[in-house]
Amino acid sequence: MKIKKRAIVTGGAGFLGSHLCERLLQLEYEVLCVDNYFTGRRANVEHLLTNTSFELMRHDITFPLYVEADEIYNLACPASPVHYQFDPVQTTKVNVMGAINMLGLAKRVKARIFQASTSEVYGNPAVHPQPESYRGDVNPIGIRSCYDEGKRCAETLFFDYYRQHNVDIKVARIFNTYGPRMHPNDGRVVSNFIMQSLKGEDITIYGDGMQTRSFCYVDDLINGFLALMSAPRDVTGPINLGNPGEFTMRDLAEKTIEMTGSSSKIVYLPLPEDDPMQRKPDLTLAKRALEWEPKIRLEQGLAETIKYFEKYVYE
């Protein structure tokens, strides 16, 4: 009888976590999904509960976790400004204390551990596109700092555990990702635009709409996670994972209106503090070290995401 690998996914009931749990089960892992439901939702993993290789645990990783595992995926953290600014102290705690607790667990059980870091570590970048060697331009005392600096500190901890305790680490810097199971009210641009379009409401763009983002479909991103986790031990990262296709906010709004057949109008509001003007991954390292790059075009991914969000409006 084949012995299955055991994986822990913190934040496993969230948008990315639920897709990762699903894929790991398909790869015949035993999966422990850990979530405190601050932004994650049980509904995201309900369809997995009948799988005997899947277990769901309500737990906050700012407290230690005493379990066994071969691999740990640390995804726990609210990822949208609306959610992480709601309780900034807790956001910093989950990034820093959560990382310490998960790294301590990885050290104890000798597990390989993955950190879901973020392109936000680059802040409002002066280099474009952003390579992993760029150290960023981050405001340490702004309203986004709980997330930006929290993730930067988590990366520091991962590399200190790697150097000091020889923990087997993998660090991915995730760029904007979208797809089914995004929270409909998370305040992120794709979910905002789709929900506003489907309801026929004005689409709100902050600033002049010329700031750019790169959007990666969730299936591509999960492939990147798995490629990094299966890479040789010396491929620690940080490695950018995202889609280099670059779109202005105005482009995205117009495309969303067109694809939903909406009558929504675009309105412009002031730009929030420290909102970056451009964001695009340099994927040179991911292509070379992981032989990974995204395959799914924005139109294809948006069509799947719109289909998912339609149930919130029409059912």
- The CA-CA-CA angle for residues 219, 113, 19, to 5°, reads 20
- Tell me whether the omega of the peptide bond preceding residue 129 falls within 30 degrees of 0, making it cis: yes
Residue 6 DSSP label: E
d(Cα 175, Cα 118) in Å, to the nearest integer? Answer: 6
pLDDT attached to residue 315: 56
pLDDT attached to residue 271: 75
Return the half-sphere exposure (C-beta side, CA atoms, 13 A cut-off) of residue 47: 8
d(Cα 117, Cα 174) in Å, to the nearest integer? Answer: 6
From 147, 161, 178, 217, the catalytic residue: 147
The structure tokens 């570590």 sit at 121
Q: Say how many C-beta atoms besides its own lie within 10 A of residue 292's C-beta.
A: 22
d(Cα 167, Cα 172) in Å, to the nearest integer? Answer: 16
Q: Residue 147 catalytic?
A: yes
Which CA distances in Å does 278 have to 59, 104, 128, 285?
36, 36, 8, 20
Answer whether 115's CB lies under 8 Å from 171's CB. yes
315 residues of the chain, pLDDT tens digit each: 678 899 999 999 999 999 999 999 999 999 999 999 999 999 999 999 999 999 999 999 999 999 999 999 999 998 877 777 888 999 999 999 999 999 999 999 999 999 999 999 999 888 999 999 999 889 899 899 999 999 999 999 999 999 999 999 999 999 999 999 998 877 788 999 999 999 999 999 988 888 888 999 999 999 999 999 999 999 999 999 999 999 999 999 999 999 999 999 999 988 776 666 778 999 999 999 999 999 999 999 999 999 999 987 665
Indicate the pTM of the whole model.
Answer: 0.93
**Which strand ranges, in their side-by-side order, compose the sheet holding 169-174?**
54-58, 30-35, 6-10, 71-74, 112-118, 169-174, 239-241
**Tens-place pLDDT, residues 74-125:** 999 988 777 778 889 999 999 999 999 999 999 999 999 999 999 999 998 8
Q: Say how many C-beta atoms besides its own lie within 10 A of residue 199's C-beta.
A: 13
Q: Say how many C-beta atoms besides its own lie within 10 A of residue 291's C-beta.
A: 9
Q: Which domains does the chain have, with CATH numbers?
A: 6-179+216-244+279-295 (3.40.50.720)
**At 219, which amino acid appears?**
D
Across 139-156, b (16+ Cβ under 10 Å) vs e yields eeeeebbbbbbbbbbbbe
The structure tokens 């620690």 sit at 236
The structure tokens 């740990």 sit at 72
C-alpha 280: how far from its chain's center?
Answer: 15
Answer whether 207's CB lies under 8 Å from 260's CB. no
d(Cα 140, Cα 167) in Å, to the nearest integer? Answer: 28
